[in-house]
Structure 1
Amino acid sequence: MEVVQVLHMNGGEGDFSYASNSLLQWKVISMTKPIVEEAINNLYCSSFPTSLTVADLGCSSGPNALMAVSELIKAVEIIRQKLKKKPIEYQVLLNDLPGNDFNTIFKSLPNFLKNLRREIGGDVGPCLFTGVPASFYGRLFPKKSVHFVHSSYSLHWLSKVPEGLEENKRNIYMTDNSPTSVVKAYYNQFQQDFSLFLKCRAQELVDGGCMILTLLGRRSQNPASKECSYIWELLGLALNDLVDQGIIEEEKLESFHIPKYMPSPTEIRIEVAKEGSFVIDSIRVSEVDWKVSNNNEVNKAKSVDESLKGSGYNVAKYMRAVAEPILISHFGEEIMDELFIRYREIIADRMAKETTQFFNVTVSLTKPK
């Protein structure tokens, strides 16, 4: 599987699109807003630049694609206008893999800019947007050209499927019964990728530049902990059911692996220290209940059972928006409906019996002057 070619969220605005199923990501961006505002305010006040270049890495598409950028610009404008500084020029660099639905983003720009100027008021400088379709596990921008990098819910995706996963029988990700060699393979790939990411951004950021990175992660020191692997373990159970029914070949399942690693704060600290280009200003772990993906229909449910079934449906839809392109590339499109019906049932059953949460790690980094 060529991750660069198949890793993207479902495009468009349909029922299973990322645009229609990204409430979780919206919630996480909202939760990290104070951290982002503090970092961008410190950056602006340290030099009062006449132009500011910000990059959003893994911007995806849909209503959240411009949310972080909007908050960054509004934060700067509030303090700029308060200090009576002259308007500045904003250069916004939107990055994701080439399969991303950039068209939907750019179609939304006129209304986005109109609403942004109305919200901010006053004299706002030019806001210039550029799309950058490429992997962030490589250079994206000229040296010392970017002031601020933001990335939310993207860096837990690896550049490729780790090597040496053959013994992870009928598992699509790490689980408690995965061999030690499999856990090590995933961790090694994370180390390589995250170190390369830091090295590339260190070349592109100006001295004193900042990064705010939010990843799906864990508190536990166990990489196969349910804190990070459970949602994928349940998808694996649904796929195994289809194997048992003869719908999917066992060999097909055993050759499929999720290219993802959800690190702990300790692992992030280790890699930042080893690479050496950045100082960690803060690192925090937060939790979001799986039920955050609920929509209004679930909130109107008449009973607990109905609510849980609805919760399972919405979590499965969220996961379909995220994982379907990768699944289709390996298993084909014809099994998707049946797979996610089974997945929904499994999720609803587990949510009725357990506390289910996503864990997020947010790290604020500065490149020393």
Structure 2
Amino acid sequence: MEKRETSMKVGQVLHMNGGTGHTSYAYNSLLQKKVISLTKEMREEAIRNLYCRTFPKRLGIADLGCSSGPNTLFVISEVIKLVEKLCKEKNHESPEYQVFLNDLPGNDFNNLFESLERFKEKLNDEVDGEIGPCFFNGVPASFYGRIFPSKTMHFIHSSYSLQWLSQVPKGVENNKGNIYMASTSPINVLKAYYNQFQRDFSLFLKCRAEELVERGRMILIFLGRKSDHQYSKESCYIWELLASALNDMVLEGIIMEEQMDTFNIPQYAPSSSKVKLEILKEGSFTIDRLEVTEIHWNAYNDWNDTNFESSLPKSRIDGAINVTNCMRAVAEPLLANHFGEAIIDEVFVRYQEILVDRMSKEKTEFINVSISMTKKV
């Protein structure tokens, strides 16, 4: 068995599965789109208040952790269409749109850039009249640092990205048998994860405060939890079940125990109270709205678009397969980097079997923490 590097450079490894194949993020991101859709009212309120206050001639818009696929330009499209509607209502000339799409360097930016012309054509078809000029920029960098010039951004959006940490927390070597926070994790592991979240999120807020104009708006959507217990099943269970599949492979000698013991997910799903606390501590933003919502693990659980369903193989509508593919699109690059690509198919076959059992017996939902903020003057 090949022994692989045990340290993980998150900035180099963390990205969703690229391309458009059946295990790609582009093909398995309906859940993330539904989460974004839940904040439509919040987003429209923020844009109305932002744009109608000063009617800027240039509108700087950023999507942080944009990934690639059908969701990437969804929010950008919604923002531009709303601003164009407001311009017509107020008899104002359309602004220039300067759009920034940010993610880590490993993101599939090629697929993203290839989709821009189709996006512009579709946007022009959906908007009555001529749209203001749109300028697109790719920004391959970690958002845990400065990525834009000072006071150039008007609206920043990030969905299902900020739960990812800048690194695996230090001091979690004794989190044996687990790959994330769990009910069996030692207390020092829980503290290390929380401390890393505090450092990362505080830095994120500080950087965005420097980049936004006065009274600029920001909407963030986290994968989170309702409970203040860090190892709550609301945020940890999906990873515990993946750990079960890996541990079974350790027992059978397919994976080395040392490999298992040195693998931890660089993620922290915060409660709404922890998100609010860090924003108040950092002090640059006023909280306008904070919402907590739930969504079923299986994105197709209440999906009623029959035309969309008919275009998919019947097995894709099966709950456990949907969840497995969604998680594989997210976690495969991390697993392949640490354990090697040879075990990937086997891991997810076993994971699917576990999900079939658990999802038939338990309520399985993701918790979303959504927050709308205004930069203070």
TM-score by length of structure 2 reads 0.94
Partners of 1:291 and 1:328 in 2: how far apart? 24
- Equivalent position amino acid for 2:185 in 1: S
SS of structure 2 residue aligned to 1:56: strand
Aligned residue among 67, 70, 76 for 1:69: 76
In the TM superposition, 1:62-211 aligns within 5 A as: 62-211=69-218
Match of 2:338 among 305, 321, 330: 330
- Per-residue Cα deviation, 1:293-320 (whole angstroms, up to 9, x for no partner): 568379997xxxx999x21111011000
**231, 236, 240: which is aligned to 1:229?**
236
Task: Report the CA distance between 1:123 and its aligned residue.
Answer: 2.1
- AA partner of residue 78 (structure 1): K
CA contact (8 A) 1:216 1:263 kept: yes
Gap change, CA 1:94 and 1:300, over 3 Å in 2: closer
Paired residue for 1:296, among 309, 333, 336?
309
Q: Is the Cα contact below 8 Å between 1:198 and 1:272 reproduced in 2?
A: yes
Query: Partner letter of residue 66 of structure 2?
Result: C
Answer yes or no: is the 8 Å Cα contact 1:22–1:293 preserved in 2. no
Write out per-residue CA displacement over residues 268-297 of structure 1, whole angstroms, 9 at most, x where no aligned residue. 111111111111111110000012156837
- Is 1:281–2:288 an aligned residue pair? yes
Q: Which runs of 5 or more structure 2 residues have no equivalent in the other structure? A: 1-7, 302-307
Are 1:353 and 2:361 matched, yes or no?
A: yes
1:367 aligns with 2:371: no
2:19 is matched with 12
Query: 1:99/1:43 Cα in 2 relative to 1: closer, same or farther (>3 Å)?
Result: same
Counterpart in 1 of 2:64?
A: 57
Q: Which segments of 5 or more consecutive residues in structure 1 lack a partner in the other structure? A: none
Identity %: 59
Where does structure 1 differ by over 6 angstroms across 4 or more consecutive aligned residues? 297-301
- Residues 96-153 of structure 1 deviation map (CA, whole Å, 9 limit, x = unaligned): 0000001111111111001101101212110110000000000000000000000000
* 8 Å contact from structure 2 (residues 169, 192) kept in 1: yes
| 8 Å Cα contact 1:21-1:293 kept in structure 2 | no
Indicate if the aligned counterparts of 1:293 and 1:315 stay in contact, CA closer than 8 A. Answer: no
Tell me the secondary structure at the aligned position of residue 291 of structure 1: coil
CA deviations on 1:137-188 (whole Å, 9 max, x unpaired) are 0000000000000000000000000011122111000111111111100000
Partners of 1:365 and 1:87 in 2: how far apart?
25
Q: What is the RMSD of the two structures over their aligned residues, measured on CA atoms?
A: 1.6
Query: Could you give the per-residue CA deviations for residues 42-98 of structure 1, whole angstroms, max 9, x where no partner exists?
Result: 000110111100000000001111001111111111111111111210000000000
What letter corresponds to residue 343 of structure 2 in structure 1?
A: I
Q: Which amino acid aligns with 1:296?
A: E
Aligned to 1:320: 328
Q: Is the 8 A contact 1:171 1:257 kept in 2?
A: yes
- Count of residues in correspondence between the two structures: 364
Distance 1:351 1:299, change over 3 A: farther
